[in-house]
A and B are shown apart, each in its own frame.
Chain A
Amino acid sequence: MTKALLTPIRIQAIGRNTFTELVRQKVFYFLLIFGLIVIGNSAFLAKFSFQEEFQMLKDVSLGAMSVFLSLLAILATATLLPRDLEDRTIFTILSKPVPRYEYLLGKLLGVVILLTASTLVMGLLFLGVLFLRENMALAETRLSLGGSPLELAAALAEIKKAAFSWDLIPAMAILLVKGILLASLTLLVSTFATSGIFAILVSASAYFIGHLQVSAREYWLSGIGVHWWTRIFTAFVALLFPDLQAFNLSDDIVAGIALPIGLFFQTTMLGAVYTAVYYAIACFVFESREL
């Protein structure tokens, strides 16, 4: 009888424990800050026109979601392995018949659950506030606007058009994909990192460099020969870092650009492939690491 390559029960158990561990660290407190940003922002923006208010509510809320998810992905993942090493939990787990790749997958699963739950809560909060403000604007318009029913209908349609758009859902999904990618990248860094701080610093640097990867890549591939070392450096950035700009679609979605379904799926697939690649390399590094 051949042994299964992956044991879902074991991975689930490690994932669940990781999630519980992260929740016990009160990481969800950041949701309070997110709530304050969204609700406070909305109250502050009441002095603007409804189009401006909705525009900025969407800009700031999705921006805040992006910040929190990226921070959460890096900070939560970077501390997982060092903490397990420090309190020796890792030895208890790995002394049982748990392969190291399953241990890492379980850890990643725990962070993915955390990120998904956070995205859901933040998304619901944001959409709830948007819905509330939209209804307030509709009620105010109905009360204040005399004139023909045709004019009123046009004004109400304008408000609805400025508020909710279905494209906000894939925009949030792509933020989650980016968060999972960052978690996987941080997991890779933490497999050879000597401390949590080192993993955080390297992952945060990779985050910023990843956003510049597209410039380095295009510069390298354009073949502009300034200095040979410049070309080597840009090639290094282009090949070793992910193209994080590919996941920054929410900036344009909130501007009203319709997201083609093909682009959404391809971006999601790219995120999934990056995540798988980082996880695979993390397994390779961790497998031969002396504990």
Chain B
Amino acid sequence: MSGLLSLRRNLIAILMLAVAGAVLLPWQRELQRKAQSAHFRTALLNITLREQIGQSGFLAALSGFRAPLAAFLWIDAHSAWEKTEWGRMTGLFNTVTTLQPHTLLYWDIAAWHMAWNASAAALQDTKQQSEVLRERARRQYIDLGRDFLERGIRNNPDNYLLYERLGILLRDKVEDHSGAADAFAKAASFPDAPNYIGRFAAYEMAKVPGREREAYERLLNLYREGKKQWVPSLLAKIRELEKKLNIPLDHRIPVSGTIGAGATNSSRSR
């Protein structure tokens, strides 16, 4: 008899739990939607990740230990770097960035290791006799670095850092000055971006045939921002473009550094 009573009591308890669960369901979903719109709970824990980190790692990731797991794998990647195991590093970086897609540092350093360290090591790989193949491997690592930055940007479009890093990579490793200029310009459009990024965008633009006028306008705008932008490289680049674009003398910036007549007129009309 008491067994029956206990069973009845437990069934009622389960029913109460289910009713409470049903009542809380819309709230849970609303909270999840709000969290995701604030960039929380967006990591993609799928079967690919499961294959990368194994069952126990996946269980840890699911149980709310994504961040520490990513940290441990990052340390592992660091050890792989010390042993110059580039392939293993790539796999680990992919896993870490999947686990923590909003940690800019992981995207940034993963891209740097690939595009700078691994690519340089590939070029000096003594095991590979063919120079063509060494060069091919170098480019592949640069592409991997670029891919990390582009994926990082897709996951974190509201921060200037990865756009800046992409600009540096395109400038120094790919020599795609137009792409670099656009990346720097995007980075500079963020209110918290450092001043120099805006200058970098203009410098890269100036190197692209057909975009010199755009670069000149951009540099003049920076010049008009005041002394904080009047660094020697900016003044030199403006003067170089003034000559190249045949800017009338009265529109050029003065040698002393104060603003010229033409520029003054433009600034007045602003």
Q: Is the CB of B39 within 8 A of A252?
A: yes
**Is A52 close to B, CB under 8 A?**
yes
Binding-face segment, B12-20, B47-55, B210-218:
B12-20
Chain A residue at minimum C-beta to C-beta distance from B40: A252
By the criterion CB–CB under 8 Å, are B16 and A266 in contact?
A: no
Contact with B along A32-47 (1 / 0, CB 8 A): 0000000000000000
User: Can you name 30 A-B residue pairings with CB atoms under 8 Å?
Assistant: A51-B105, A52-B109, A55-B103, A56-B75, A60-B71, A64-B68, A192-B10, A208-B62, A208-B63, A211-B62, A211-B63, A239-B18, A239-B22, A240-B17, A241-B21, A244-B64, A246-B32, A250-B67, A255-B67, A255-B100, A255-B103, A257-B38, A263-B31, A270-B27, A273-B24, A281-B17, A281-B20, A284-B16, A285-B9, A288-B9
* A290: Cβ under 8 A from any B Cβ: yes
Chain B neighbourhood of A285, CB < 8 A: 9-10, 13
Q: Decide if A59 touches B32 in the complex (CB within 8 Å).
A: no
Contact B40 A56 (CB under 8 A): no
* B31 touching A212, Cβ below 8 Å: no
B35 within 8 A of A: yes
Nearest CB in chain A: distance from B186 CB, A = 19
Q: Are A284 and B24 in contact (CB under 8 A)?
A: no
Judging by beta carbons under 8 Å apart, are A277 and B35 in contact? Answer: no
Kindly report which residue of chain B lies nearest to residue A58, judged by CB atoms: B67
Q: Is B28 an interface residue (CB 8 A)?
A: yes
Contact of A284 among B13, B66, B75 (CB under 8 A): B13
Q: Are B62 and A238 in contact (CB under 8 A)?
A: no
Distance in angstroms between the alpha carbons of A244 and B5 in the assembled complex: 32
Q: Would you give the shortest CB distance from A173 to chain B, in whole angstroms?
A: 15
- B31 lies within 8 A of A246 (CB): yes
Interface 0/1 of B132-172, CB less than 8 Å to A? 00000000000000000000000000000000000000000
Report Cα–Cα, A280/B20, bound state, in Å: 11
CB contacts (< 8 Å) of A284 on chain B: these are 9, 12-13, 16
Distance in angstroms from B33 CB to nearest chain A CB is: 11
Chain A residues positioned under 8 Å from B173 (CB to CB): none
Q: Is B41 among interface residues, defined by CB-CB distance under 8 A?
A: yes
Provide the bound-state CA to CA distance between A19 and B118, in Å.
56
CA distance A251 to B14 in the complex (A): 32
Interface size class of B (residues with CB under 8 A): 35 or more
| 18 further A-B pairs in the complex, CB-CB below 8 A; given A62-B68, A285-B10 | A52-B74, A56-B71, A60-B72, A188-B13, A238-B21, A243-B28, A243-B31, A243-B32, A245-B32, A251-B100, A254-B103, A255-B101, A256-B103, A257-B38, A258-B38, A285-B13, A288-B5, A288-B9
Chain B residues lying within 8 Å of A29, measured Cβ to Cβ, are: none
Distance between Cα atoms of A266 and B10 in the complex (Å):
30
* Chain A residues at the B interface, C-beta cutoff of 8 Å: 48, 51-52, 55-56, 58-60, 62-64, 66-67, 154, 188, 192, 207-208, 211-212, 214, 217, 221, 238-241, 243-252, 254-260, 262-263, 266-267, 270, 273-274, 277, 280-281, 284-285, 288-290
CB-CB nearest in chain B for A55: B105
A154 to B193, CA, bound (A): 12
Nearest CB on B from A122, distance (A): 14
Whether B59 is near chain A, meaning CB under 8 Å from some CB there, is: yes
Assembly CA distance A108 to B100 (angstroms):
35
Q: Does chain A have a CB within 8 A of B190?
A: no
- Please, which residue of chain A has its CB at the minimum distance from the CB of B2? A290
A63 to B67, Cβ gap below 8 A?
yes
Given the complex, which residues of B lie within 8 Å of A58, measured CB to CB? 67
CB distance A252 to B13 under 8 Å? no
Residues of A within 8 A of B18 (CB): 239-240
Inter-subunit contact A67/B35 (CB<8 Å): no
- Among residues of A, the one whose C-beta sits closest to the C-beta of B65 is A63
- List residues 70-117 of chain B with CB under 8 A from any CB of chain A: 70-72, 74-75, 78, 100-105, 109
Q: Inside 8 A of A208's CB, which chain B residues have their CB?
A: 59, 62-63
In the complex, A70 Cα to B175 Cα: how many Å? Answer: 52
B194 beta carbon closer than 8 Å to chain A: yes
Q: Nearest chain-B residue to A246 (Cβ)?
A: B31
User: Which residues of chain A are within 8 angstroms of B104 by Cβ–Cβ distance?
Assistant: 255-256
Select B32's contact among A67, A211, A214, beta carbons within 8 Å. Answer: A214
The CA-CA distance from A258 to B34 in the complex, in Å, is 13
**Complex Cα gap A154–B31 (Å):** 37
- Give the complex CA separation of A85 and B240 in angstroms: 89
Residue of A nearest to B45 (CB): A215
For residue B184, give the distance in angstroms from its CB to the closest CB of chain A.
18
Contact flags B257-269 to A (C-beta < 8 A → 1, else 0): 0000000000000
CB of B25 closer than 8 Å to a CB of A: yes
A258 — which chain B residues lie within 8 A by C-beta? 38
CA distance A212 to B22 in the complex (A): 17
Assembly CA distance A48 to B78 (angstroms)? 9
Which residues of the other chain, A, contact B109 by a CB distance below 8 angstroms?
Answer: 52
Q: In whole angstroms, how far apart are the Cα atoms of A151 and B32 in the complex?
A: 42
Complex: A207 Cα to B69 Cα, angstroms? 18
Given contacts A249-B40, A288-B9, contact A66 B64 (CB under 8 A): yes
